């Protein structure tokens, strides 16, 4: 169960993460960090060349870890790039890797003094993670991080469509104290 004071810091919205005005947005990246499809491609297109140039210097990111760059032309000052797992069957470390992607993104935000950040539904697109399972892992990992660190004031999950928003709402409704 998530305490009510922690729940006040978690928001769920349907929308386009590239338009978010939180200090940082999280990119569901691939290991190369050089752009791709879905959220990753949209962030690179909207953010412009500065993001790609920083990503080239970083040189990639292993699954479950996170790296930070400028927000380029985005409203967000920073982009935190994380790599979620490709879903096979849930028995190959996928839950832990997905939780790590959320935890490490959050911790990188804390290290950089970021008080508000927005996450997409990591790994639920072409990586095939079942939406409700991913929502449970994401919300659980972020709630624990919020309990451990009070400097972050807002974590917003920006879900692309109504189906994703409904799944995240259902999970969040089920974990209220």
Query: Is 173 labeled as catalytic in the residue annotation?
Result: no
Residue 175 vs residue 157, higher pLDDT: 157
Tally of structural domains, the chain: 1
User: How far is it, in rounded angstroms, from Cα 170 to Cα 117?
Assistant: 21
Rounded distance, CA 2 to CA 142, Å? 10
Q: Which domain holds residue 146?
A: 4-173
Could you say which of 40, 89, 173, 177 is catalytic? 40
Task: Please report, for the domain that includes residue 114, its CATH number.
Answer: 3.40.220.10
The two structure tokens encoding residue 137: 């892992």
pLDDT digits (tens, 9 = 90+) for 83-138: 999 999 999 999 999 999 999 999 999 999 999 999 999 999 999 999 999 999 99
Question: What are the DSSP E strand ranges found in 19-149?
Answer: 24-28, 66-70, 78-82, 116-119
Does this model's pTM top 0.85? My answer is yes
Burial of 86 (0-12, 13-18, 19+ CB in 10 A): middle
């Amino acid at each position: 169960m998530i305490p009510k004071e922690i729940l006040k810091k978690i928001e769920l919205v349907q929308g386009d993460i590239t338009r978010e005005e939180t200090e940082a947005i999280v990119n569901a990246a691939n290991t190369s960090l050089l752009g791709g499809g879905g959220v990753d491609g949209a962030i690179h297109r909207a953010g412009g060349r500065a993001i790609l140039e920083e990503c080239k210097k970083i040189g990639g990111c292993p699954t479950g870890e996170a790296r930070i760059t400028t927000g380029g032309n985005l409203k967000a000052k920073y982009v935190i790039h994380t790599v979620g797992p490709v879903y096979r069957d849930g028995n190959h470390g996928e839950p832990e890797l997905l939780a790590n992607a959320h935890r490490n993104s959050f911790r990188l935000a804390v290290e950089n003094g970021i008080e508000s950040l927005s996450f997409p539904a990591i790994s639920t697109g072409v990586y095939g993670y079942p939406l409700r399972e991913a929502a449970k892992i994401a919300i659980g990992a972020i709630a624990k991080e919020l309990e451990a660190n009070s400097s972050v004031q807002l974590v917003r999950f920006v879900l692309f469509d109504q189906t994703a928003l409904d799944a995240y709402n259902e999970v969040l409704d089920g974990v209220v104290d």
